[in-house]
């Protein structure tokens, strides 16, 4: 971390600041230039409050030289992390083809969709049991009952499953879930992240609606700093001024996260766009951008889905998507 | 709710859709125009999935005629709600002057600040005990210990207190807290909202970083639909492309929320701007926009604050802010 | 266009509004529902002021049923428009591989880059002569002199050229330019658009930093309504809260624009990301999303470029991008 | 400007970069820290390409120490600039009360509105003659004819006038206009700014829809660097995700611009909100934030206005706004 002092700062003022920084277990390297004096802070600056430092009267600006995340940082962990989700590897060249309905609705539905997407090459089954909904009056998911049906589909098809947790008090119900999803609205629910960091379950961490890549990595760091390093990042669109699509899918996040971090990155084109006809081109683009997986909503009868049907593919549509995604990955291999 | 059908929709298709809607306990009024056919959905449409309806092949667009929030809606509750926080009234002409340090740091600090801001006219004491921080390595607040100190300051000064809850499992600790704050990052932590809806405590609900006014009101609805109608809304800046200020304070939210809802609206200029010298002009502007209160960070020694000192006022600075805010309110009375 | 009247509107008020609308040459179809009355406006509503209509006391909401753009609208022109740029076809299955330096710097440079990118399969040469720069103190391009060098490169290589116009007063200099670019900052310079609509030159219209797809199409409409229908749209990233990338490339714009309009859509991954290492993955993703072309900055010596070198590829890097883009297009064919 | 070199940079690489920087007439001060080496660039760095420098392989980050604007910078011009607009002073404690219709529609209309707002204390008359409209099919203003009517109103009432220029080719028509407005969409029409910089007319420069404060000041710099230092800045709302208001009025821009620059800052609450009932509270808030003026749309018959009537006040509404704004300014004096 570097602090740039204002022109005109006295030697006494500088010394006072240096002493204060040293009290925080930092070494300080002073570099006096013609126009500015720069303090180099050496040591563990991850707990230093940049805003506070920058607000001091003699400080012009404060800049981080190193990223504030450590365990998620590729600099300290050059090899790709490969997460094993119930036997399916994700990252480091292994691709996750995650598919399934937005919400689990019935045993028949979830098993039918699971069998269909498996036949098309999906290797993970998704399905919502606990649903975060903007309105308290909207369908909130089948909850615990939905989880049980999802586990039946897992048993019937042998596919590992991924589903969302909204409340740490329900953790016991997730004992046989292979990959626990943290939704966009909970990306900065730090208490939930800490608790998940104490489990040994792989975590799928979705980017928040208006969160930067650095904030996403800091949230991964919350999980990892508690001991659980099995984190998969997920880009699912950010909120912008554009209203034609539900969100704006930020595919540059994929290579950017790969550069900053060793964690796998998957893309959810269904929630990002909110329109089923936009899902195939965005799934192809996600694969072409280098993603380690895609997560796609598939429903056997989209027009009757209880929620989010607007963005679901039919099984035949998904089959074509899966085929082309594989071919695009071959081109890039 | 209105569904506009595409040109060329057949009578049979229309009838099929109407039947489906009627199964959802809705009455449907069909209006055939020269260019378009419009279906008027009559009944409780708050649970209807607009996105799904809009995704049907024959539907061109779907529009809500009425807002999806009910209990928070001024249409059904024209009078201003006045929330009583430990004897201090907020809303309907009564103004909340909330002040205190970002974080509780010591008994001496919190009592000193509390006494100072009370002398300047503050009627509620704020102080963070549980702190949501982007980094797991940053100071997370004094937690339970901080709450105890805050309660000591309440006892010493007689001021009701407001502090943030991050996790419903800590609710017992808030038994003597007068106003429980839900932070911006938890605005859509729906499980937390529901649990707070079951308490009888006044709730201060902060707008999320990238949430619309309607989403804020839907989150209020989550609390209110469980039986707790003592909700105070708080504008604290939204995230935009501008980087000079930490967030962009959206003061048009104040009169807009007053038009849409009967709930009181307070403004937090400290978190919105992140710079202490921006707090006074934004506090004046908040009062001038018609806010029912302001929430301001005050610290007896900002340059030593453990967090967020950059945006804190000193007690003398706050004293001047409080005086001018009162005068501006007189102008508008 | 549909106007939804407020509950409680009197018959006389409704009639007054209907009369006013009829004065604007519109037919009005009144549909009285149980809860709301809906007016259907029939005729050419493209000049109706939605905001004004919506502000009337008796009007609850106004919704457009049809898009406000006509000539750019796929509904009225189902086939893809194919633009012929100096013999190179763009759109309807024909792909534009546009490459070249950000700025023309010297005859040697532009011809060397042109030859290199042509050898790799580029079919159009880009090069900036007039440069829009945020700072008046930054290099503003070689201007007229740059245009001459670009024309020399065209002659030397046979490649059609594309370059940006900033001011209609320089139009004469563009007589031999094959494709005239309107930059993001001028997307709503309506006087410039109108003048370009009077020429017979193909126009490359870049999306503004914070403009919606509909606004982009309305700007295309400005050009087309003056008689020039040879417009190519260009997605080049939008401004969001994310600071890691210069802009956020919105690839969902590609299939969205294809659905809304018949005009070709190309993607500029260089300006969108601002980092050369992000250009290849975003170029692949653009091709996979169905774009009709990509526009990539290539420089023979990026670290010495006078501007925007940070986002330029070297000729060998571009060669690999071009190869993979072709293969991805084969997968999707 | 400071360049932070990557860990592991060799001495030869550093020297190569230093030589390159010196070729650009910069002095370089090298400071070798334990973890990083920092180069301090001394001299006129306003033309240095930060992005290019930052893209070099050995460079980790580049930071500006000083702002890239000079003539607009308060550091070099501590006193408030006071702009004289036809005898009306703006800035440095003098307040501009600018009012008038969105569009000039007739001689009767403009004179009637002008007389009314003058009686209420307005000291400048606004009125649109050339109107930037998103749609080519919408009313584009009365253009030259409108300007003539505006000048008649100036003559009749003695009020200086402000109106928008869209195209430098119409400059001759603005000979008797007192304050020339550059609209939000033209804030980065750099050629227009340069030409206006060559005139001696005061310029009202509106912030672009998605432009930062620094970009606004750089656009002011374009005008000022050509010799015209009579620039007034205008905040008129920025584009965000919120759709309830047309734009999001950023009032923190007022004290922020005052800190960064010596130029006067006025606020336009009418265009920012798009709703007449939001104009009074936002006008009060603007005054309370320390603005040097407000610009408000007033129409004698809002429901018949040809454009933007939705956001216009009636003369009696404006009268009340003007009174309260004056009182709020007294509180802050």
Q: Does pLDDT of A307 surpass 80?
A: no
Per CB-CB distance under 8 Å, the chain D contacts of A4 are: 2, 63, 65
D93/chain C closest Cα distance in angstroms:
30
Q: Does pLDDT of C185 surpass 70?
A: yes
What's the distance, CA A106 to chain centroid?
28
Q: Does pLDDT of A303 surpass 60?
A: no
Give the tokens for residue B57.
Answer: 């092949």
Per CB-CB distance under 8 Å, the chain A contacts of C273 are: 252
**Considering only alpha carbons, which residue of chain A is nearest residue B53?**
A310
Question: Is the Cβ of D255 closer than 8 Å to some Cβ of chain B?
Answer: yes
Per CB-CB distance under 8 Å, the chain A contacts of D241 are: 210, 239-241
Q: What is the pLDDT of residue C300?
A: 86
Among the partner-chain residues A35, A40, A63, the one whose CB lies closest to the CB of D63 is: A63
What is the arithmetic mean of pLDDT over A67-84?
Answer: 93
Q: Are D2 and D62 in contact (CB under 8 A)?
A: yes
Q: What is the pLDDT of residue B302?
A: 60
Among the partner-chain residues C209, C225, C303, the one whose CB lies closest to the CB of D56 is: C303
Per CB-CB distance under 8 Å, the chain C contacts of A273 are: 252
The three state secondary structure string of chain A is CEEEECCCCCHHHHHHHHHHHHHCCCEEEEEECCCCEEEEEECCCCCCCHHHHHHCCCEEEEECCCCCCCCCEHHHCCCCCCEEECCEEEECCECEEEEECCECCCHHHHHHHHHHHHHCCCCEEECECCCCCCCCCCCCCCCHHHHHHHHHHHHHHCCCEEEEECCHHHHHHHCCCCEEEECHHHCCCHHHHHHHHCCCCCEEEECCCCCCHHHHHHHHHHHHCCCCCCEEEEECCECCCCCCCCCECECCHHHHHHHHECCCEEECHHHHHCCHHHHHHHHHHHHHCCCCEEEEEECCCHHHCCCCHHHCECHHHHHHHHHHHHHHHHHHC
Q: Does pLDDT of A331 surpass 90?
A: yes
Question: Is the Cβ of B175 closer than 8 Å to some Cβ of chain C?
Answer: no
- Which of C288, C322, C330, C333 should one mutate to test binding to chain A, selecting the residue with the greatest count of A CBs within 10 A? C288
pLDDT digits (tens, 9 = 90+) for A2-23: 788 877 788 888 888 888 888 8
Per CB-CB distance under 8 Å, the chain C contacts of B1 are: none
What are the angstrom distances between the C-alpha of C14 and each of C37, C56, C148, D268? Answer: 9, 11, 63, 33
Per CB-CB distance under 8 Å, the chain B contacts of C36 are: 2, 40, 65
Q: What is the pLDDT of residue A36?
A: 67
Question: If you count residue pairs, one on B and one on C, with CB atoms under 8 Å apart, how many are there?
Answer: 63
Distance from C-alpha of B264 to C-alpha of B257, rounded to nearest angstrom: 9
Give the tokens for residue B309.
Answer: 């000192």
Distance from C-alpha of B174 to C-alpha of B176, rounded to nearest angstrom: 6
Q: Are B323 and B283 in contact (CB under 8 A)?
A: no
SS3 state of residue C247: coil
**Interior angle at CA A209, CA A205 and CA A215, nearest 5:** 60
CB atoms within 10 A of CB C143: 16
**Considering only alpha carbons, which residue of chain C is nearest residue A324?**
C331
pLDDT digits (tens, 9 = 90+) for B2-49: 888 877 788 888 888 888 888 878 888 887 766 667 788 887 777 777
Q: Which of C284, C309, C313 is nearest to C296 (CA)?
A: C313
Among the partner-chain residues A166, A209, A308, the one whose CB lies closest to the CB of B191 is: A166
CB atoms within 10 A of CB C50: 16
Question: If you count residue pairs, one on A and one on B, with CB atoms under 8 Å apart, how many are there?
Answer: 133
Beta bridge pairs of residue D3: D39, D62
Per CB-CB distance under 8 Å, the chain B contacts of D215 are: none
Q: Does pLDDT of C134 surpass 80?
A: yes
What is the arithmetic mean of pLDDT over A213-239?
Answer: 97
Neighbours of chain B (3+ CB pairs under 8 A): A, C, D
Per CB-CB distance under 8 Å, the chain D contacts of B252 are: 245, 248-249, 272-273, 278, 281-282
What is the arithmetic mean of pLDDT over C264-290?
Answer: 96
Q: Are D284 and B289 in contact (CB under 8 A)?
A: yes
Which runs of E-coded beta strand occur in D86-139? 88-90, 96-100, 124-126
Task: Determine how β-strand B83-85 pairs with β-strand C293-297.
Answer: unpaired
Per CB-CB distance under 8 Å, the chain C contacts of A74 are: none
Q: What is the pLDDT of residue C303?
A: 56
* ipTM attached to this prediction: 0.92
A169/chain B closest Cα distance in angstroms:
9
Per CB-CB distance under 8 Å, the chain B contacts of C27 are: 34
**Considering only alpha carbons, which residue of chain D is nearest residue B269?**
D252
Residues of chain C numbered 131-170 and touching chain D (CB < 8 Å) = 132-139, 166-169
Q: Are D274 and D73 in contact (CB under 8 A)?
A: no
A34/chain C closest Cα distance in angstroms:
23
Stretch among A269-278, B119-128, B154-163, C78-87 having the lowest mean pLDDT: A269-278
What is the arithmetic mean of pLDDT over C110-123?
Answer: 97
Q: Does pLDDT of C149 surpass 70?
A: yes
Sign of the C-alpha dihedral, residues C123, C124, C127, C131? negative
Distance from C-alpha of C207 to C-alpha of C186, rounded to nearest angstrom: 9
- Which of C261, C321, C331, C333 should one mutate to test binding to chain A, selecting the residue with the greatest count of A CBs within 10 A? C331
Cβ separation A288–C290 shorter than 8 A: no
Cβ separation C47–D135 shorter than 8 A: yes
CB atoms within 10 A of CB A221: 26
Q: What is the pLDDT of residue C15?
A: 86
Q: What is the pLDDT of residue C248?
A: 97
**Considering only alpha carbons, which residue of chain A is nearest residue C209?**
A241
CA atoms within a 13 Å half-sphere pointing along the CA-CB vector of D122:
32
What is the arithmetic mean of pLDDT over B291-301?
Answer: 94
B239/chain C closest Cα distance in angstroms:
7
**Residue B68 pLDDT level (bands cut at 50, 70, 90):** confident
pLDDT digits (tens, 9 = 90+) for B260-289: 999 999 999 999 998 899 999 999 999 999
- Which of A30, A32, A39, A40 should one mutate to test binding to chain D, selecting the residue with the greatest count of D CBs within 10 A? A40
**Considering only alpha carbons, which residue of chain B is nearest residue C37?**
B40
Q: What is the percent of chain C with per-residue pLDDT over 90, rounded to a whole number?
A: 70
Place of tokens 């046989």: A176
Q: What is the pLDDT of residue C251?
A: 98
Query: Within chain D, which residues score under 70 in pLDDT?
Result: 33-36, 65, 302-309
Q: What is the percent of chain C with per-residue pLDDT over 70, rounded to a whole number?
A: 96
Residues of chain A numbered 78-117 and touching chain B (CB < 8 Å) = none
Q: b/e for D29-65, b at 16 or more Cβ within 10 A?
A: bebebebbbbbbbbbebbebbbebbbbbeebbbbbbb
Q: Which of A128, A155, A124, A162 is nearest to A142 (CA)?
A: A128
Sign of the C-alpha dihedral, residues A182, A188, A192, A198? positive
Neighbours of chain D (3+ CB pairs under 8 A): A, B, C
Q: What is the pLDDT of residue C121?
A: 97
Q: Are B111 and B148 in contact (CB under 8 A)?
A: no
Q: What is the pLDDT of residue A33?
A: 67
Q: Does pLDDT of B101 surpass 60?
A: yes
Distance from C-alpha of A217 to C-alpha of A197, rounded to nearest angstrom: 14
Cβ separation A51–B308 shorter than 8 A: yes
Question: If you count residue pairs, one on A and one on C, with CB atoms under 8 Å apart, how many are there?
Answer: 115
Question: Is the Cβ of D42 closer than 8 Å to some Cβ of chain C?
Answer: no
Neighbours of chain C (3+ CB pairs under 8 A): A, B, D
User: What CA dihedral angle connects C2, C8, C12 and C15, to 10 degrees?
Assistant: 10
What is the arithmetic mean of pLDDT over B62-76?
Answer: 86
Q: What is the pLDDT of residue A315?
A: 95
pLDDT digits (tens, 9 = 90+) for A122-169: 999 999 999 998 889 888 899 999 999 999 999 999 999 999 999 999
Q: What is the pLDDT of residue C20?
A: 81
Cβ separation D276–C51 shorter than 8 A: no
Q: From edge to edge, which strands make up the β-sheet containing C37-42? A: C27-32, C37-42, C2-5, C59-63
Give the tokens for residue C148.
Answer: 């001459």
**Residue B56 pLDDT level (bands cut at 50, 70, 90):** confident
Among the partner-chain residues D36, D40, D239, the one whose CB lies closest to the CB of A33 is: D40
Q: What is the pLDDT of residue A272?
A: 92
Residues 6+ apart with CB under 8 A from D301: none
Which runs of E-coded beta strand occur in B140-214? 161-165, 179-182, 203-206
Per CB-CB distance under 8 Å, the chain D contacts of A60 are: 65
Among the partner-chain residues D212, D245, D282, the one whose CB lies closest to the CB of B241 is: D212
Residues 6+ apart with CB under 8 A from B26: B41, B42, B43, B44, B45, B48
Question: Is the Cβ of B221 closer than 8 Å to some Cβ of chain A?
Answer: yes
Q: Does pLDDT of A61 surpass 80?
A: no
Per CB-CB distance under 8 Å, the chain C contacts of A255 are: 277-278, 281-282
Per CB-CB distance under 8 Å, the chain B contacts of D254 are: 281
SS3 state of residue D74: helix
Distance from C-alpha of B312 to C-alpha of B295, rounded to nearest angstrom: 11
What is the arithmetic mean of pLDDT over B144-158?
Answer: 97
Helix axes A107-119, A315-332, angle to 10 degrees: 30
Cβ separation C38–B2 shorter than 8 A: yes
Per CB-CB distance under 8 Å, the chain A contacts of B169 are: 168-169
C-alpha Rg value of chain A to the nearest Å:
23
pLDDT higher at A171 or B44: A171
pLDDT digits (tens, 9 = 90+) for D33-62: 666 677 888 877 777 777 778 777 788 778
SS3 state of residue B79: coil
């Amino acid at each position: 971390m570097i602090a740039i002092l204002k022109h005109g700062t006295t030697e006494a003022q500088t010394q006072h600041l240096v002493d204060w920084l040293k009290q925080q277990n930092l070494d300080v390297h002073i570099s006096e230039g013609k126009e500015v004096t720069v303090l180099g802070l050496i040591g563990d600056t991850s707990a230093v409050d940049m805003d506070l430092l920058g607000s001091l009267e003699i400080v012009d600006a404060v800049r981080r030289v190193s990223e504030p995340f450590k365990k998620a940082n590729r600099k300290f962990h050059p090899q790709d992390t490969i997460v094993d989700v119930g036997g399916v590897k994700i990252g480091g060249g292994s691709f996750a083809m995650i598919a399934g309905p937005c919400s689990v609705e019935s045993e028949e539905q979830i098993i039918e969709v699971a069998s269909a997407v498996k036949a098309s090459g999906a290797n993970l089954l998704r399905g919502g049991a606990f649903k975060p909904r903007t309105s308290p009056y909207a369908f909130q998911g089948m909850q615990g009952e939905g989880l049980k049906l999802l586990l039946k589909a897992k048993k019937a098809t042998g596919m590992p499953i991924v589903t969302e947790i909204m409340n740490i008090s329900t953790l016991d119900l997730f004992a046989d879930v292979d990959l626990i999803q943290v939704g966009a609205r909970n990306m900065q629910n730090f208490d939930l992240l800490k608790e998940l960091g104490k489990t040994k379950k792989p975590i799928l961490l979705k980017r928040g609606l208006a969160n930067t890549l650095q904030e996403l990595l800091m949230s991964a760091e919350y999980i990892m700093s508690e001991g659980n390093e099995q984190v998969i990042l997920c880009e699912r669109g950010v909120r912008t001024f554009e209203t034609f699509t539900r969100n704006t899918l930020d595919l540059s996040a994929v290579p950017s996260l790969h550069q900053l971090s060793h964690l796998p990155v998957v893309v959810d084109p269904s929630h990002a766009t909110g329109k089923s006809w936009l899902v195939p081109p965005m799934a192809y683009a996600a694969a072409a951008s280098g993603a380690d997986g895609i997560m796609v909503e598939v429903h056997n009868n989209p027009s009757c889905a209880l929620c989010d049907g607007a963005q679901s593919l039919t099984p035949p549509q998904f089959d074509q998507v899966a085929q082309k995604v594989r071919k695009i990955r071959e081109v890039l291999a």
